[in-house]
Structure 1
Amino acid sequence: DYFATGKLELDQAARIIEGIARGCSASGCALIGGETAEMPGMYPAGDFDLAGFSVGAMERGTALPAGVAEGDVLLGLASDGVHSNGYSLVRKIVETSGLSWDDDCPWGPGTLGAALLTPTRLYVKAALAAIAAGGVHGFAHITGGGLTENLPRVLPDGLGVTVDLSSWSLPPVFGWLAAQGGMAEAEMLKTFNAGIGMVVVVSEDAVADVTAALEQEGQHVSRIGQVLAGQGVSYQGQLL
C-alpha cells in the first residue's frame, strides 16, 4: 500500500491503516508492507492519494471460469450498497438533488454522505467456501458495467444468461438514485450493482450445497437466473 499527502496527519493515517487492516482480516489476507510519502505543495490540506494491490496464489488447473454449461444456475449475493463504482454519477445526482452530504439520508438513518459511502462487501471468504462445496463454475464480480456487462465475462461462446429481476429486492439507495437521476431500468443495470455484488455460476445439482456454504459465511443468497444457449444477458420481470 502507498499513502501520499502534503503533510502527514497521524490521526488520519491511523484511521486509514485501521480500515486497511479490517479489510485484510475480512478477506483472510495479511498486510505485509507499505509506504508513506509527504509531498508539500502537491496536495491541498486534508487531501491524500492511496493505492494498494493484493497478490494471491492458486494451484495450476483450478482457474475459473471453467465448465460453465447450459442449465447452470446464477446465485446472486447481496451487496451492501453502491460499493466502488458509479460515483461520478452519484456525485452528479446529489448535486442536482439539492441535498448536501451532511443532510439526513432520505431512505434510512444517518447522513446522506455516510449512507452512500457504506463500505464495499468483501466476498473472498464466501467465494472460497463456495468453491470448497463443489460445483462452482465461475464468479462474476458486479462492479462497473453492472450485471449487463460483467456476467458475459464468465460465459463461453454460444452461451448467455437470463436474469429474473423480481428474484431480489432493489435496495432503497438505488431506488433513490434512479428517481433523482431519472434513470431507466436498463441504465441502472449498466451503471450500478442494483443490489447484487457477486454472482456465482453453479451446476444445478450443487445449488443447495453452495447456497448453504454461502449462507454460513453470512451472505444473503438469491437464485437470480440461469445459463442458456445464446449470447449476452436478457432480463425478465421488473427491478424499478
Structure 2
Amino acid sequence: MNISEEKDNVNRTFTFSQIGTLGSPLDNLVLQPKSTTITIPIRQMGGYRDVAVRALLEGKPEPGYRITNITTSPPTITVFSSDQDQLTALPGFVETEPLDISSASQDIDARLTIALPEGVTAVSEQSIVVLVSIEAVETSQRIRQDLTVTGLGTNLSAQISPDSVDVIMSGPLPVLDSLTGENVKVILDLLHLAPGTYDIEPSVIVSGPDVIKTDTILPAYIRVIVSETTSVSDDEKIEDSNLPNTTTNEATDET
C-alpha cells in the first residue's frame, strides 16, 4: 500500500484472494470475511506546519486595467522550526517577496522567494510561482456618425432620413478612449435597389483592434426613398442642391 505524499489518516479496504502455493487461484475455497479494512494513522511530526502562501503585490496596474485573479503554485507549503511556539505563532500563511505590478497592462508570471521569519525554513518549496491576471476594464461609448451611402445605381437618387445614427460600442476602456470618428464608418448599402421606399438596416465597420463590439445602432433602420433622376435646368439644380439628405448617382456623357 503506497502512502507517499499522504497527510491525513489512510483507510483502505482490500479483498482477499485464494491463491495456492504455486500461485494459481483456488476456486473451491470460500473465505469469511471476504475483505478487510486497514487504517494507518498519519500525523504531522513536531516542528512542522502547513501554511498557505500569499503573494505580496506592490503598485497598481495601468489606468483602465484591473487585477482579475492571483494564483500561487503551490498554494501551500510545509515549514519547519525547532521552536514549536514560533510555529504556533505563525498567522497560518506566509508571504512572497514583493512583486511590482506598477503600470502593468498584461498578465505577470514570476517566480518569487518566500519571506520567512528567522528560525523558520521551507521544507517542500523554496520559491513560489505567482500568476497575476490583468485585463482591461470593459466599458461602453456612444458615437454619432454620418451615414455613408454605397451601391446606389446609375441615374438614381436617394433621400435618407435620418442622415446620421448613434452607435453604441463596448470594449476595453483604453481602446475605446483612443477611438475617434475616423475609426467608425456606418454603411448604408443600396445595391440593386429600384426606385421605391425602403427601410434599410445600416452596418458598422470599426477599424482597429477586433475587441470592439457594436451593441446598438440608433435608429436601427433608415428610411430610404430611391427615385430616378431627370434632366433639369441649371436653376433647378441649384434649388435641388439645397435639399437635405439626398444622394444622387448620375451617369455623365463622355465627349
Alignment TM class, shorter chain as reference: under 0.3
- Give the structure-2-normalised TM-score: 0.18
Question: Which structure: larger Rg?
Answer: 2
Higher strand share: 2
Structure with higher RCO (Cα < 8 A, 6+ apart): 1
